[in-house]
């Protein structure tokens, strides 16, 4: 942008310098920025959706002999789709955090309706 004749020097000077690779701030928005706040808000929103999904699994599933609640993907999909259309994405996030377990990388409606989801 420094070579761009339409860029003002004042605007370029007001930009915060990028953090070098390996730095703890590398790839993160500047502290206190609106971008950082939007990221925090999105993170907490997804966290609430994961909690809500776990509650739905607990309500609709059945307790197994080991004490874990289990539900099939088809049953969960039918119940949860009225709450949110992001069932699979929220399930993947919950698995990433160790809250649920299921076989396979991705779950597809119709094809994976019999896959058992276990609430950990």
Domain boundaries, the chain: 26-119
Distance CA 120, CA 100 (A): 5
For residue 52, what pLDDT is reported? 93
Question: Which position has the token pair 């809250």?
Answer: 99
More reliable by pLDDT, 8 or 70 = 70
Q: Per the CATH hierarchy, to which homologous superfamily does domain 26-119 belong? A: Costar domain (1.10.10.1540)
More reliable by pLDDT, 76 or 2 = 76
- Answer whether 76's CB lies under 8 Å from 57's CB: yes
Structure tokens at 54: 């776990």
For residue 28, what pLDDT is reported? 87
Chain centre to alpha carbon of residue 66: 28
- Answer whether 94's CB lies under 8 Å from 71's CB: no
Other CB atoms closer than 10 Å to residue 30's CB: what's the count? 14
């Amino acid at each position: 942008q420094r070579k761009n004749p339409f860029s003002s020097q004042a605007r370029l000077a007001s930009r915060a310098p990028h953090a070098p690779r390996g730095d703890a701030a590398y790839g993160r928005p500047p502290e206190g920025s609106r971008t950082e706040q939007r990221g925090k808000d999105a993170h907490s929103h997804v966290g609430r959706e994961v909690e809500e999904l776990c509650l739905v699994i607990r309500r609709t599933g059945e307790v197994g002999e080991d004490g874990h609640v289990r539900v099939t993907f088809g049953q969960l999909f039918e119940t949860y789709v009225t709450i949110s259309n992001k069932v699979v994405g929220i399930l993947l996030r919950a698995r990433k955090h160790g809250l649920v377990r299921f076989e396979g990388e991705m779950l597809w409606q119709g094809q994976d309706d019999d896959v058992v989801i276990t609430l950990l």
